[in-house]
Amino acid sequence: MKPGFLCWSVPFFLCALSAPALAEDAPAGANLEAGGLKPPDAVQSDQTAPPPSPTEANLDRADKEDSGRGLEFVWLNGEVGAETLGLQTFKANNLVDAKLVNSKQTGIMYGAGVGVRLLVFTLGARFRLGNFSDWDLWTLNGEFGLHIPLGRVEPYFNLGAGYASLGSFDSKNIGSNLSSAGLGAKGLDVRGAFGVDVYLTDTFTVGGNLSGDLLVLSRSGKSVAAGATTGTAEQQAAANVYAKDGSSVGAGATLSAVLGLHF
């Protein structure tokens, strides 16, 4: 016998085997006529139909009443927290002049995210702005998440990557000319995060998030016009540093409080 024939015949063979059982389960109220054929009368009547089991009743109730619970398609959240960041943690190649600019700082972070959710997977975009005393850093990342719903509490893991931009250097450190020349760096940000959301209502959550960032930044040389460099001798020396290209690999960690809406 050919395997192909076997494949095609299996479902029909099983159908034939189960036909009597199906006929026994035919509903009493069914009165379907098609093509001039009338199905046989049902064996069981409504009065003798067994009552639904508790599990079936629960499922039925879930479908009818609770179909919206825990179902989400869109989420958005806002966050604020503390971020500590080292611009040159793993590699330093003149991204900033370490004598004048503190490359390792702690500041306030503001952020917002929006995205979609399918079952326990989320996909979205997140903007974060880190406000530090010597410089600012903003990131715009794509984000993928896995959520583990445990009743009202929902831990989750996120992975994301995107664009990072470093700028707004304090003119007191680098001099007004470099500052006004728009000294800055850009590059890649890779982020991993763990967080917990607590559902206060079906749509509103509060939670916390701990994330780690890996920053790969680079900048092109920024020279100011000869004679225009004013300020201290250190600032003039810094101007020479920033005249050349620079790059770095840094790292950061952020702890934030998150408010979220889920629809």
Task: Give the list of residues 6+ apart from residue 156 with CB closer than 8 angstroms, or none.
Answer: 122, 145, 146, 147, 148, 194, 195, 196, 197
Query: What are the distances in angstroms from CA 139 to CA 8, 112, 163?
Result: 56, 11, 6
Coil, strand or helix: which one is 237?
A: helix
Measured from the CB of residue 240, what is the shortest distance to another protein in angstroms? 35
CB 209 within 8 A of CB 194: yes
Stretch that binds another protein, among 5-13, 179-187, 218-226, 234-242 (CB under 8 A): 5-13
Instruction: Assess 7 for contact with another protein (CB under 8 A).
Output: yes
Stretch that binds another protein, among 17-25, 102-110, 136-144, 170-178 (CB under 8 A): 17-25
In this complex, which beta carbon is closest to another protein, that of residue 54 or of residue 227?
A: 54
Query: Exactly one of 1, 20, 32, 233 binds another protein (CB under 8 A); which one?
Result: 32
Stretch that binds another protein, among 64-72, 101-109, 128-136, 169-177 (CB under 8 A): 64-72
Query: Exactly one of 73, 201, 226, 227 binds another protein (CB under 8 A); which one?
Result: 73
Instruction: Assess 80 for contact with another protein (CB under 8 A).
Output: no
In this complex, which beta carbon is closest to another protein, that of residue 47 or of residue 227?
A: 47
Query: What are the distances in angstroms from CA 162 to CA 138, 182, 190?
Result: 11, 22, 7
Query: Exactly one of 74, 108, 123, 148 binds another protein (CB under 8 A); which one?
Result: 148
DSSP-derived secondary structure letter, 150: B
Instruction: Assess 30 for contact with another protein (CB under 8 A).
Output: yes
Q: Positive or negative, the Cα torsion across 45, 46, 47, 52? A: positive
Stretch that binds another protein, among 152-160, 166-174, 228-236, 248-256 (CB under 8 A): 152-160
Of 204-263, binders to another protein (CB under 8 A) are none
Instruction: Assess 172 for contact with another protein (CB under 8 A).
Output: no
The C-alpha angle with vertex 105 and arms to 99 and 106, in degrees rounded to 5, equals: 165
Quick one: the chain helix, strand, coil %, rounded to 5?
20, 50, 30
Instruction: Assess 42 for contact with another protein (CB under 8 A).
Output: yes
| Whole-angstrom distance, CA of residue 261 vs CA of residue 47 | 48
Task: Give the list of residues 6+ apart from residue 250 with CB closer than 8 angstroms, or none.
Answer: 85, 86, 87, 88, 89, 90, 103, 214, 215, 217
User: Interface residues with another protein (CB under 8 A)?
Assistant: 3-4, 6-8, 10-11, 14-15, 18, 21-23, 25-27, 30, 32, 34, 39, 42, 52, 55-56, 58-63, 66-71, 73, 118-121, 148-152, 154-155, 199
